[in-house]
Amino acid sequence: MRPNLRLIDMWYYRAEDLHKRLGKLRRLGLDSTPEAKRLRREIKALRRKVYAYLRDFTQKRAHELVMKAIRLRAEVLIDDIIEESRRELIEEKIPSGLRKIYLAETRRFIKLFTTQLQWYGVPYRFERLPSTVCPICGHKLIQERGRVMVCENCGFKAPRDKVPIHWAVKYNLSLRHISVG
Ligand SMILES: [Zn+2]
């Protein structure tokens, strides 16, 4: 599940463009013209759209996931990657305004999610699920083009975003093993 990032980008950059145009008008002393007012209104509406979209997405997905966990009688592992994702967002050169919104919404998601899990009594815990260490042999993974992670030691290969789920499966298997043994 991921939000439509392209749509968000589109709204965000459109608002940035209009903001630049508004700055130009301001420097020309045309601050209170109908044109400037229209720009301000449009910028505000676009920014509100980004927030509203992400809020709605966060809320719906958190609830969906909780319901899924109940249905599957699952224990939930949460890989809260705030620090790592912040660094990744910087690496990917996402503008700071957008980065702030993404991180705030990620935090909000975790808060909503854990509160609801508690409410329904679904067991959960936070677990670091690495995306740069091989889940098969523990070797360091090398990133190839297109965010594909490869292990030179055992040949494991997976998209970067899918590596953590291999770790989750591995943890789950070892938990089952413990409960059986
Ligand atoms: Zn390996």
Ligand 1 centroid from CA 157, angstroms: 9
Average pLDDT, integer, range 25-50: 95
Average pLDDT, integer, range 52-81: 92
If pLDDT is split at 50, 70 and 90, which confidence band does 180 have?
very low
If pLDDT is split at 50, 70 and 90, which confidence band does 181 have?
very low
Ligand 1 centroid from CA 55, angstroms: 38
Q: What is the pLDDT of residue 163?
A: 93
Average pLDDT, integer, range 8-18: 95
Out of 25-29, 68-72, 85-89, 126-130, pick the least confident. Answer: 85-89
Ligand 1 centroid from CA 34, angstroms: 63
**For residues 131 and 51, what is the distance between their CA atoms, to the nearest angstrom?**
29
